[in-house]
Amino acid sequence: MDASPAFDSYPYRHRLSDVLTWEPLDIDVGATLAQAAAAMASRNVGSILVRDGGGTHVGILTERDIMRRIAMGEDGGSSVRNVMSFPVVSLPADALVYKALGRMERLGIRHLAVTDPDGKIIGVVSLRTILKTRNTAAFALGDAIESAPDSAAIAAARARLPALASALLQDGSGAATVAGAISAAMRDSTERAGVLALESMERSGLGPPPVPFTLLVLGSGGRGESLLAPDQDNAVIFDGTPEHDAWFAEWGTRLTDILDAAGIPYCNGGVMVSNPLWRGTPEDWRQRVGEWIGRGRGENLMNVDIFFDFAPVLGEAGLAAALRRDAIAAARQEVVFLGNLVQHIGAFRPPLSWDWFGLTCGFQLQDGRVDLKLGGLLPLVSAARVLALRHGIEATSTFERFRKLRERKLISAGDAVAVTEALEVFMAAILRQQLADSVAGLEPSSKIDPSILDRRERRALRAHLTMVDIIQPMVEGAVAR
C-alpha cells in the first residue's frame, strides 16, 4: 500500500488575499521592546512592522524575537531597532499560498508582509495562519524555481509541471486553478531569470540596475491562465531616461536567453525585453500605448491583446500599477479603438460543423484536431479584455473580469455563467490533451483530438463552443453602456 501523503491542492487554490485577516500593525523605530510587545498583545498578533520617520516599513519584529532577547538577559527597554529583522520580506496579495510557504521555508522565517499593486504593505501573514497543507510536495516546485542557480535548474523544476497539473486535476481542482498554478510557475521562472541576469550583469562588471524598474509577464501568464505550451511574453518599465536603455537591453538579452535555455522558448512575435518595443520609461510606454490605441488595427491590436494583461514579477510594482491606470484611462474613452477590438472578436469562429438545419453536427478538424485556443479561448478572453478596458476594470484574469462585469450589471448573470463555464471546459480539454501528449512524448499544443472525450463530453464541448458565435453582440451591447 502506498503510504505517501495525499497531494494537497490548497496552496494552489488560494491566494494570500484569502488568508490575510488583519491590517498591518506597526510601531516607530525608536520604540522599546515592551511597547512593541504591548501593541502585539492588544491585537493578539505575533508580529509588528517597524517604520522609520518617513513612514517606510524598514523592519519586522516578532514575538519570538522578543522572547529570544529576554532569554538572553535584555529588558523591555531595549530598542526595536536593535532587534528587528530587515529588510521586510513581502509578496503581492495575489500570490498563491504555495509561493509564500516556499519562501518562508527557504528563508527560515515565519511572517511575511503582503502588498497591494502599488507595493504598499497591507498586512502580514504568519506561517501558523497559512500552513494548512499536509506535506511539502505542494510548494516544493515554487521554491525550487526561486532558488534555482541556473537555467538548467529552472528547467528541472519546470519538468514537474505536468505531474503537478495531473495531481491537481485528480484532486478535484478545476482547470482555472491548474492554469493558475502553471502561470505562477511561469511568473516564478521569469522572476528567477531576471535575478540570474542581474547577477550576470554584476559579474560582467556592468553593475546593478541604474534606475528603478519592474519586469512584467504579459499575455496568459499575466492573466494567470497559462497552460502547458509556454513561450516568452515579457517587458520592462525602467524609471529613467533613454540613456539607460542600453543597460536594460543587455540585461533583457541575458534574461530571455536564460528563459529559452530553461525550456521557455523565445516568443515568435518578439514580445520580449530584448526587443526595444517591449522596454522603456513610463513616458515611452504611455506614448507607445497611445499609438497602439490611436491606430488600433492589425499589429497594434495584437500588441494591445498582449500588453493589457501584464503582471509585475520583479522590481518596483508601483511602476506597473501606475502604467496600468494610465493605459486603461487612455483606452476606455477611445470609441473607435474599442469598436475595432469588438470587430476583431468577430473574426474568431468556433471550430464547428453545421448541418442543413443549422444544427451543430461535429467539429472542424485540422490534422485530426480541434483548435480550442483560436476558436474557443481567444474570443472569450478578448471579450473580457475589451469590456474591462471600456469600464475601467483593472483585473487581468478573464474569470475575474467577467465576475466584476456581472457585479456591475454590465452583463447578465446568465451570460457570465455561460462564458465562465465555457472557459473552464475549453481549458480542461486542452489540459487533458496536453497531459496525454506529454506522456506520449509529443509537444503540447492547444489543439485537441476529440477522441479523447466521450460522447457526452463532445456534446458538451460543442454546446459551449456555440457561445463564441454570440459573444460579439454581447460585447457590443456592454461596450455601449
pLDDT tens for 278-295 read 999 999 999 999 999 887
Look up residue 284 and give its three cell numbers: 515611452
Q: Band the pLDDT of 140: cuts 50, 70, 90.
A: low
How many other C-beta atoms are found inside a 10 Å radius of the C-beta of residue 15?
Answer: 22
pLDDT, mean of residues 117-146? 73
Residue partners of 225: CB distance under 8 A and separation at least 6: 176, 179, 180, 183, 381, 397, 398, 427
CATH code for the domain defined by 341-479: 1.20.120
pLDDT, mean of residues 301-330? 91
CATH class for the domain made up of 148-329: alpha beta
Bigger pLDDT: 369 vs 335 = 369
pLDDT 10s digits, 103-128: 888 888 889 999 998 888 998 988 87
Average pLDDT, the chain: 88
Burial (CB count <10 Å: 0-12, 13-18, 19+), residue 236: buried
Crossing angle of helices 467-479 and 455-465, in 10° steps, is 30
DSSP character for 312?
E
pLDDT 10s digits, 172-188: 889 998 999 899 999 99
Q: What's the pLDDT score for residue 55?
A: 87
Q: Band the pLDDT of 475: cuts 50, 70, 90.
A: confident
Q: In a 3-state reduction of DSSP, which class is residue 355?
A: coil
Look up residue 341 and give its three cell numbers: 477590438
Every domain of the chain and the residues it spans: 10-130, 148-329, 341-479
Q: What's the pLDDT score for residue 457?
A: 92
Question: Does 66 score more than 60 pLDDT?
Answer: yes
Residue corresponding to grid cell 500500500? 1
Domains 148-329 and 341-479 in one fold: no
Question: Does 3 score more than 50 pLDDT?
Answer: no
Q: What's the pLDDT score for residue 27?
A: 94
Look up residue 237 and give its three cell numbers: 518599465
Q: What's the pLDDT score for residue 477?
A: 76
Q: What's the pLDDT score for residue 21?
A: 65
On the CB side of 145, how many CA atoms lie within 13 Å of its CA? 28
> Which of 3-7, 58-62, 161-165 is the least confident region?
3-7
Q: What's the pLDDT score for residue 251?
A: 98
Question: Does 390 score more than 90 pLDDT?
Answer: yes
Q: Band the pLDDT of 395: cuts 50, 70, 90.
A: very high
Q: What is the largest CA-CA distance in the chain?
A: 89
Q: How do beta strands 352-354 and 213-217 pair?
A: unpaired
Distance CA 133, CA 137 (A): 9
Question: Does 206 score more than 90 pLDDT?
Answer: yes
Percent of the chain scoring above 90 in pLDDT: 58
Query: In CATH, which of 3.10.580.10, 3.40.980.10, 3.40.30.10, 3.40.50.2000 is domain 10-130?
Result: 3.10.580.10
> Which of 340, 339, 249, 329 is CA-nearest to residue 302?
340
Q: What's the pLDDT score for residue 103?
A: 86
pLDDT, mean of residues 427-444? 93
Listing from the earlier edge strand, what are the strands of the sheet with 111-115?
A: 90-92, 111-115, 121-126
Percent of the chain scoring above 70 in pLDDT: 93
Beta-bridge partner residues of 363: 352
Q: What's the pLDDT score for residue 310?
A: 95
